[in-house]
Chains A and B, each alone.
Chain A
């Protein structure tokens, strides 16, 4: 991990207001702020895959996500062999599409979740599910540790909110996101904490507007 973190940290920049200038630590001969060291391992690894085509980082992502992806696939009724077929496809897609990962707008787990759902469905239906247009040129932006951390904190808050749900509520929302409920079922389920993600949506929108403004 140390090696991955090292190659990754240098391109991170900090914006003037939020970037940490205190608490700098020496790390592998480089100056590393506290912010950078708080970024999740998975996000750092995915950035290393994206920017350096780092196979060691990819192997680490595999170790973390492959067993979880397999768990999700088997939950939805796949055999072990089928699940591994999907896992293989998803992980290769992660490698091939890494250039589309934008850490300011998605956590590694969110990005891989979306690829996992798409690839699973596409393999079942043998079609390509319609995807939104990618926003152009957002990938040329240098990683901003402050923004990546802000996103990570929102995810932490969302995770904490989910953990306060009753077992039944949590079960329903989990089934919704693992593709086990139809849209009709989702709309009639009470207790789906869709409101919980509203604040995240608002912040995400501000971020997106800011980014789109930068493109014009």
Chain B
């Protein structure tokens, strides 16, 4: 992949929050997946970690209980099971492959040829994969909260610009858009929100909770 082709990156406030561990799992998955594809944002994240490290160095030290160090030193030789490392699989970078449990996504029809695969959905938000046929227009929709959309394959365009593989679109309350998949191949995206989407004519709003969109 030509990494320098990525034009739309993660804004600093999201990277800082990710670095501090303060993003929902849904947003954190999109951020971790983008960083796996983007050297720019990896370097930025490392800069945020450096900033965090400076605050750790300067943090007020608290006395440690007498036995703790000995307890930990005594555990160093204990066997431990390393966490499984998920590598990229096809178009799915490591963290996304981990969320998919190294399985192919299970696609469900959403209408108009669009398919989705919900990875998680709870009160904090949802994250799903979207599969949009080449050239297909996704109905005009707005957002209640924040929506992050990361292109994994193909591309889409909307009123705000062109998004190729690796690009991240940030949608908020002000964005009403009609994304159209590029003509060459189906567009596959990873999309996370912290609120239900508002589709204008995709589907009656009443049905939205059923489809968790």
Contacts and interface: CB of A to CB of B under 8 A. Distances in A.
A83 interface: yes
A192 B94 CA distance: 31
A62 B69 contact: yes
A119 to B, nearest CB: 9
Given A55-B76, A83-B62, A134 B85 contact: yes
Nearest to A193: B51
A74 B89 CA distance: 40
Interface residues of B, number: 64
Interface of A: 55, 58-59, 62-63, 65-72, 74-75, 80, 83-84, 87-88, 91-92, 95-96, 105-114, 116-118, 120-121, 125, 127-135, 154-155, 158-159, 162, 173-174, 176-179, 181-183, 186-187, 192, 194, 197, 200-202, 204-205, 207-209, 212
B47 A197 contact: yes
A111 B13 CA distance: 20
B153 to A, nearest CB: 17
A59 B50 contact: no
A131 B76 contact: no
22 contacts: A59-B73, A68-B59, A75-B60, A84-B65, A106-B53, A114-B49, A117-B52, A129-B21, A130-B28, A130-B31, A130-B98, A131-B95, A133-B93, A133-B94, A173-B51, A186-B17, A192-B13, A194-B13, A194-B16, A197-B51, A201-B43, A212-B3
Contacts of A113: 49, 52-53, 55-56
B63 A67 contact: yes
A195 to B, nearest CB: 9
